[in-house]
Each structure stands twice: as structure tokens, then as C-alpha cells.
Amino acid sequence: MIKYALRCVFEHPFEGWFSASADYDDQSARGLLECPMCGSREIAKQIMAPAVAGTKGQKAAPTEPTPEARQMMMAAMGEVRRHVEENFDYVGDTFAREARDIHEGKSEHRGIYGEATPTEVKALLEDGVSVAPLPPKPPGRNQIN
């Protein structure tokens, strides 16, 4: 097995495990890789240092969050989403244009949310427009294992 550090076009880091490097190449070419945070399919490998066994200066491997910590993180993300939906203006698929207009002073300064394509978001970020993905909606009861 080989582990790659991956990152989507929106700079979300995550890991992927593959049987061989050719498996990564194949899945990437077929568009099967997807960011777990935003769903983007524009994924790239990151530079990684090889894991070398040794005893000097070896740090403990990071651990998975506990179920309680995971539940706290999910609750916090839900609160962020709820705050945005209750206090910001929903602009639908005009998000990219409206965010740019606010940034350039052509539209009143206010919090907005809506939909944008990965290409639109990348262009906004490259132009210095501050945008961030909205945390996903919590899964419904019928979607939980």
C-alpha cells in the first residue's frame, strides 16, 4: 500500500491510500478522486517526505479523533452552516459574480453564500477575493450507519 498526501484545487488537504502508484494515476485519469471536504475532482499529489524508520527524533503518529471529538467538530461545522444560512444573503449560482462585485466595491458589503464552480472559485481566490466552502449539511438520520 502507498499513501499519498492529496490536495484539491481549493487547497483542502487529505490522504489517499492506493495499492500502487499506478492505481492513483488510473483513478486520477478517470476522474474518480474527490475531495472529501468540497467534492472537487481537481486533485493533485503533494510533495511528501519518505517515511524512514529510526529512533532519533521520531514523533508519535497522529491519531484519529475520538468519537467525542468528531462529534464536537461536526456540531461546530453545523453551527457555522446554520449561522451563515440565517445571517447571510443567499445569491444562488450568481455567487462568483456577486462576490467579485462586493470585493471591487460595485455592490454593498455583506455576507453572501451560494454556488460556484471549482473554476469560478479558483479565479476568485487568484484575484484575492476571500471565499470559503460552506460546511456540508449534516447527514440525515437515514444516511447514518
Q: Does residue 55 sit within a domain?
A: no
Residues of the domain holding 100: 69-136
pLDDT in tens, 102-119: 999 999 999 999 999 999
Q: Does residue 101 sit within a domain?
A: yes
Q: How many structural domains compose the chain?
A: 2
pLDDT in tens, 37-49: 888 888 998 877 6
DSSP-derived secondary structure for 16-28:
EEESSHHHHHHHH
pLDDT in tens, 74-105: 888 889 999 999 999 999 999 999 999 999 99
Largest CA distance in the chain: 59
Please, are residues 49 and 55 in contact by the beta-carbon 8 Å criterion?
no
